[in-house]
Amino acid sequence: MCVQVSDSAIVHLLLYANGELVDRFGNGIFPWFRFRSPAEAKLFQGDVEKWRPFLRPVADLDTLRQVWCQDSDANSIVSRTADLFGIQLELFQVGYSIFDEQVEIKYNDWISADALSVGAFDEFHLLVAPATEE
């Protein structure tokens, strides 16, 4: 699963299996434009059935369909989708792809291309412990 966000305006959620794009949902086109036509919007409407295996047991497809409203703002789509998948928002927001003229670039490569030292940044890997009842 890949989460791509542009300036908190546009979000694309991409689902991959075996390195192949299986499905995608989005609320516009990068960097921050609404779809130009219904045909363009249809390409990003998402097939919620393909995302079923990733939903929390208490989540359902109807709720995911409601969250994936193409008129919604990116931040609410991201936060509500993370909740439905049972992924902490802080982890769901990490690792966004960076786009430069519609070409997908890994974040570290994008920084390197801008002559910034990748070594100047610390990389953290987080493991979130399950909540305990008190």
Q: How far is the C-alpha of 80 from the C-alpha of 63, rounded, in Å?
A: 10
Host H or E run for residue 82: helix 74-85
- Whether 127 is in a domain gets the answer no
pLDDT in tens, 5-24: 877 788 999 888 877 889 99
Full residue range of the structural domain in which residue 36 is found:
2-116
Give the three-class secondary structure for 27: coil
129, part of any domain: no
R_g (Cα) of the chain, nearest Å: 16
Distances, alpha carbon 38 to alpha carbons 4, 24, 45, 52, 101, in Å: 21, 16, 10, 25, 23
Q: What is the pTM of this model?
A: 0.69
Do residues 33 and 10 touch, judged by C-beta distance below 8 A?
yes
Classify residue 128: in a domain, yes or no.
no
Q: 35, 15 in Cβ contact below 8 A?
A: no
Question: How far apart are alpha carbons 130 and 48 in whole angstroms?
Answer: 27
Give the model's pLDDT for residue 38.
Answer: 95
Q: State how many domains the chain has.
A: 1
Asked if residue 87 is part of any domain, the answer here is yes
Residue 134 resides in a domain: no
Q: H/E element holding 10? A: strand 10-17
Position 120 pLDDT exceeds 60: no
pLDDT interval class at 27 (50, 70, 90): very high
| Residue 24 included in any domain | yes
Q: Is 131 contained in some domain?
A: no
pLDDT digits (tens, 9 = 90+) for 67-100: 999 999 999 999 999 999 988 787 676 554 444 4
**72 found inside a domain:** yes
